[in-house]
Amino acid sequence: MEISTLAMYHCLAFVWYFFVTYSITHIRTEERPSEVFLYGGQWKYLTVLNLVLQAVFYGVSFLADVLRLIKKLRCAKCVISSRDLLFSVLAFPVSTFVSISFWTLYTYNRELVYPKSLDGIIPRWLNHAMHTAVLPFAVLEILATPHRYPAKKKGLILLGFVAFLYISWVLWIYSVTGEWVYPLFALFSPAGLAALFAGSLAVIVSFYNFGEFLNRMIW
């Protein structure tokens, strides 16, 4: 893909994710259903954090494209390194995890992750923008341009550290409110919850490896 075309795509993707993030974070809190508590705001949900992550990634990608177009290659090289690290370690595995885990649980029992009461607050298009569109966007990015993956050990350590931060945030919220961010967690004992978190980490690591495999096979 030519740099100018790539720049246009990354710009449009950035605007899209900015718009979706703005839309979900400006839903009026007084309209929330009773089972959705205020503490942590929208920032307690991995889905919303992923939208911010994708907006940052596509913003960095667009900046890299612009720097290449205006021949600022030294600066572009540094930005491209940041772009590739963001995509490989976070943007691809997190968006894939969000989409697949959400729709798997939604199909099994939607009340565990997305209560029916939310349908009257969050439009259907916004639900799909948050949980469906993120996956084809991630795959399209792999098809659009090659990404340099870090050394496997470094990549997995960074991914594991971010996962640890999010799990710590979820546990902190529970310690303060006595409520779980996702109703699913209330079904598990402490040992079962630890197993769930470990299993989720294993799944997201597999998505990291899958993204690396796709990138290597295509490019």
Per-residue pLDDT of the chain (219 residues; tens, 9 = 90+): 688 899 999 999 999 999 999 998 887 655 555 556 677 888 999 999 999 999 999 999 999 999 988 888 788 899 999 999 999 999 999 999 999 999 999 999 998 888 888 888 889 999 999 999 999 999 999 999 999 999 999 999 999 999 999 999 999 999 999 989 998 999 999 999 999 999 999 999 999 999 999 999 998
Q: How many domains does the chain have?
A: 1
Please state the pTM of the whole predicted model: 0.92
Length of the chain: 219
pLDDT at 126: 94
One-letter amino acid of 167: I
Q: Which two tokens stand for residue 117?
A: 């009461």
How many other C-beta atoms can be found within 10 angstroms of the C-beta atom of residue 74? 8
In a domain, residue 121? The reply is: yes
For residues 48 and 85, is the Cβ–Cβ distance under 8 A? no
In a domain, residue 69? The reply is: yes
In a domain, residue 88? The reply is: yes
Element (H, E) at 149: none
pLDDT at 36: 64
In a domain, residue 37? The reply is: no
pLDDT at 35: 57
pLDDT at 72: 80
Q: Rounded CA gap, 69 and 158, in Å?
A: 31
The parent domain of residue 129 ranges over: 5-25+42-218
In a domain, residue 192? The reply is: yes
pLDDT at 49: 96
Distance set, CA 64 to CA 4, 119, 147 (Å)? 11, 38, 13
In a domain, residue 33? The reply is: no
Burial (Cβ within 10 Å: 0-12, 13-18, ≥19) of residue 71: exposed
pLDDT at 14: 97
**Angle 46-69/134-144 helices, nearest 10 degrees?**
30
In a domain, residue 30? The reply is: no
pLDDT at 93: 97
In a domain, residue 99? The reply is: yes
